[in-house]
Amino acid sequence: MFAAAPALLAQGTANPPAVSYQPMTTEERIEFFVEGSLASPQALFRSALAGSFAHLNDTPPEWGQGADGYGRRYASSFSTLLIRDGVESAGAALLKQDPRYERCRCSGFFPRFGHAVAARFVTRNNKGKKRFAFARVGGQYAAGFATVAWYPERYNYGSDGLRFGTRLLGFGTITNLVQEFVVEPRR
C-alpha cells in the first residue's frame, strides 16, 4: 500500500489542460483575501473554534479561564489567521502564485486525499504550472513565529514558532480535506 502512495499523489495532482486555468486578477486577489480573512463568517468561525480548543486545553495557562481568557485566545487565533492569510496573499501576488484551493479533477478516495494533502505544498503559477507553494508555506510559518510575540515570555521564537507554523500546516491540510470531500464549490 505505501509503495503506491507516490503514484496516488501523482494522480491526484496531475496537471489538467492548461486552457482550463485562469490566473487571478489583482481585484480577485484582494476580494479573495478580504472575503476569506476579514469579512467572512467562516474566518470568524475558524477563529472561534481555534480559540475554543485553546481555551478547553487552557493554552497558554497564563491567560486563565473565563471570558477574559477566551477573549485573549480568540483574539490570538484571529490575529494568527490575519497574519497567515496576509503573508500568503501578498507573497502569492508577488510570486504570481494562486492562493486558492483547487479541488481535484480526479475520482476515487485515495487520489483525492493525496491531492488535498499535496495542495498544502503545491500551487499554480500564472501560467497554470504546478510549483512549490512558497507563499502558502511561508504564511503558515510567518504566522506561527508571529504568534509567539503575544504569547507569555516562556515561549520561544525558534522552537515554539516552528511548532506553531507546523501545526498551522496540519490544520490547513484538514481544511483542504474538508473542501475536497465535504464543501461544495461555489459556482
Output the CA angle 121-102-187, nearest 5 degrees: 160
Return the pLDDT at 9: 42
- Whether 44 maps to a domain, the answer reads yes
Return the pLDDT at 186: 57
- Whether 115 maps to a domain, the answer reads yes
Return the pLDDT at 15: 47
Q: To which residue does cell 487565533 refer?
A: 77
Return the pLDDT at 10: 44
The domain tally of the chain equals 1
Return the pLDDT at 1: 36
The answer to whether the beta carbons of residues 133 and 111 sit under 8 Å apart is no
- Whether 94 maps to a domain, the answer reads yes
Q: Can you give the pTM of this predicted structure? A: 0.83
Strands 122-124 vs 130-132: parallel, antiparallel or unpaired: antiparallel
Return the pLDDT at 140: 97
Euclidean distance between the first and final Cα of the chain, in Å? 36
Give the amino acid at 50.
Answer: A
- Whether 159 maps to a domain, the answer reads yes
Q: What are phi and psi of 124, to 5 degrees?
A: -105, 150
Segments forming the whole domain that contains residue 75: 24-181
The answer to whether the beta carbons of residues 164 and 54 sit under 8 Å apart is no
The answer to whether the beta carbons of residues 5 and 61 sit under 8 Å apart is no
The three cell numbers of residue 41 are 463568517
- Whether 79 maps to a domain, the answer reads yes
| Binned average pLDDT, 10 residues per bin, the chain of 187 residues | 40 50 93 87 90 96 96 96 96 96 93 97 95 97 97 95 96 94 70
Q: How many whole angstroms separate alpha carbon 114 and alpha carbon 130?
A: 15
Return the pLDDT at 3: 41
The β-bridge partners of 123 are 131
- Whether 18 maps to a domain, the answer reads no
